[in-house]
Structures are given as C-alpha cells and as structure tokens.
C-alpha cells in the first residue's frame, strides 16, 4: 500500500484539539478533552484518538461511532439501560440515537471512527 492509502492512527505529529462537555451537559467533575483527528473525509468520516480526564456528562449521538479503549476506565450508561464499564482492550459501537451519560473514572484514551 502506498502512503496515500495507508494511514496509521497515531497522535504523533498531530496537534491536539482541546475541548470539554458543553456546560449544560456537565453532570460532575471538570473533564477536559484532547482530540487528535488524523483523518477527516468529505461525507462526514473522522478517525483519530480522543482522551478525557475524569468527570461525567450527558451525551447524545447523532452519528455512528466505533470506539476502541486504549487506556483508562469509563462507565457508559444509556438512558433506561444498564451501565457498562469499558477499559483498555474493549471495543464497541455507539449508534445514532444513543442518549445517556459518559463517566470517566480514570483518564480514558480511545481510538475512534465516526460516520455522520
């Protein structure tokens, strides 16, 4: 494969974009995000690495997202559903329409692929 069609999901050489939950979605703590977006394509496709410090916030997904946890521990709870603890090595998909909360217990880093 040529360099033009093979892309490593690697934060080295990519500037981190800072972020945080919207104030009206914050439940507890003071979580801070860092995102290294390594791929962005027309049509709403994104891939990269995301990290959050501890805290809890409400989340609503309008997009499809594949996640692979690299480090840390988080609890994801869907409204009306069970709490799921995710940690290093876990992979999952959040589908459009997911509503609930994301709580970072230990600073969590994940690889992601998002499709709008």
SS3 25: helix
pLDDT > 60? residue 87: yes
User: Among residues of the chain, what percentage have pLDDT more than 70?
Assistant: 97
β-sheet bridge partners, residue 18: 34
**pTM score:** 0.93
From 42, 45, 51, 69, select the one nearest 11 (Cα to Cα): 51
Instruction: Give the pLDDT score at 1.
Output: 41
Model confidence at 67, pLDDT cuts 50, 70, 90, reads very high
Instruction: Give the pLDDT score at 3.
Output: 57
β-sheet bridge partners, residue 113: 47, 66
Q: Which CATH architecture has domain 17-115?
A: Sandwich (2.60)
């Amino acid at each position: 494969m040529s360099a033009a069609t093979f892309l490593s999901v690697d934060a080295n050489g990519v500037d981190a974009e800072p972020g945080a939950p919207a104030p009206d979605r914050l439940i507890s703590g003071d979580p801070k995000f860092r995102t290294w977006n390594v791929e962005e394509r027309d049509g709403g496709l994104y891939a990269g690495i995301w990290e959050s410090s501890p805290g809890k916030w409400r989340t609503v997904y309008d997009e499809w997202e594949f996640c692979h946890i690299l480090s840390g521990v988080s609890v994801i709870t869907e409204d009306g559903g069970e709490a799921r603890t995710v940690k290093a090595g876990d992979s999952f998909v959040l589908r459009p329409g997911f509503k609930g909360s994301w709580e970072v217990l230990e600073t969590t880093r994940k690889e992601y692929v998002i499709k709008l």
